[in-house]
Amino acid sequence: MKSATKKRVIAGVAIALGGYLMVAAIFALRAELAWRQAVSFRTSGDVERAVRAVRGVFDLYVPGNPRLEEASRLIWDIAMAEEKRGDHPAALAHYRILRSAWIGAHPIEGDRGWIARTEPRIARLSAEPTPDVPALAKRSRAQREAQALAEMRAPRRPYGAWGAVAALGFAGWVGATVGLIARGFRADGTLVPGAVRWVLGLVVGYGVWILGCLRA
């Protein structure tokens, strides 16, 4: 590899890594702030705002963030307490939030059991007949639970629009990295004046990719 090309590759990789670390640091900081808010609201008894803050932790997911597990336990405890006192609609909604968060995170974080824990409870609570779905009452509770579980455990397909957003973000991230390496440097390895657009494209592409993966 020629010296000039080698310098470009090294500098490009360094900037790409730096861009990733910058975005990851911003996400992690905002997730930490959201987590502290969640704990504060939970302590004060404001469950609605605590759940909203926990969702902020989930939405600002960064691989390896320890707050993901802690936020999961917090919303699980909230849902369990709601289920115990008979507030089944709220418990069901919060179990679903937890399950959705781990569906997005488990390809990177691994399966820590949260999906398996939430699905039976979601199935049980969603099997309760409601006035707006009278057809459910014609089936036994066991049948309704089995159907709900089967639907949740069916092969998952990414939600079309957000899947496209994730693909677009990833393509933008890779394209900006390649563009930075190929066109962002002079022969001596220094940045050209217009290189900032490739750096911005790299950062924005990464952010859009992560957002799409979380929402897909």
Distances (CA, A) of 42 to 29, 46, 81, 211: 20, 6, 12, 26
pLDDT at 121: 93
In degrees and rounded to multiples of 5, residue 130 shows phi and psi of: -125, 155
Q: What average pLDDT does this structure show over 110-119?
A: 84
Backbone angle region of 106, left / alpha / beta, with phi > 0 → left and psi within -120 to 50 → alpha: alpha
Burial of 39 (0-12, 13-18, 19+ CB in 10 A): middle
* pTM for this model (two decimals): 0.66
Average pLDDT rounded to a whole number, residues 136-146: 74
Mean pLDDT of 178-206: 77
CA atoms in the 13 A half-sphere facing the CB of 21:
6
Among the listed residues 78, 73, 71, the one whose alpha carbon sits nearest the alpha carbon of residue 56 = 71
Q: Is the separation of the CB atoms in 29 and 17 below 8 Å?
A: no
Q: What is the pLDDT of residues 72-99, one digit of tens each?
A: 999 999 999 999 999 999 999 999 999 9
Q: Which CATH architecture has domain 3-156?
A: Alpha Horseshoe (1.25)
Beta carbons of 31 and 57 less than 8 angstroms apart: yes
> pLDDT band for position 51 (50/70/90)?
very high
Annotated domain spans of the chain? 3-156, 158-216
Q: How far is CA 22 from CA 14, 16, 61, 78, 200, in A?
A: 12, 10, 14, 33, 12
